Amino acid sequence: MERPNYRALPEILEEMNKEGGFIASILARDDGLLMASAASPTTNREVFAAMSGIVAEPVERMRKELSLGELKDISIRFSEGKAVFRKIAAKGKQSLIIAAVMQRGVRYHSRAIGKATTKIRGVLGYS
């Protein structure tokens, strides 16, 4: 079995940032371990990744308890911007979270994140 090309992951995130107008983005395991990022040097990528895992856990629990179906994404709005988290899962494989931070004026983030998610799934062999 061929090993995934992990070097492609930051390139996918950079492309997503350009298309979506995002300030920063990361790909992390659901336990908060950073896998790839596309962010300025001033962004604490490890904290961003850890926060992604922390945010996703209670939302996943709520989804199960309330029988809300599959989670699309988590969007948190702040006075100066927004953070969006989307889970990438595959049966029998480690769940991942793709997260992006954007300024307040960015409205349409779903398409850029969706395209990046599809590419990441292909690189990692998630079906």
Q: Which residues are bridge partners to 24 per DSSP?
A: 101
User: 48-64, pLDDT tens digit by residue?
Assistant: 999 998 998 888 889 88
The pLDDT, as a whole number, for residue 5 is 85
Verdict on whether the full-model pTM lies above 0.85:
yes
Rounded Cα gap, residues 7 and 121, in angstroms: 14
Domains annotated on the chain, with CATH: 8-120 (3.30.450.30)
User: 68-109, pLDDT tens digit by residue?
Assistant: 888 888 899 999 999 999 988 766 777 899 999 998 888 788
Amino acid residing at 49: A
The two structure tokens encoding residue 85: 């988290």
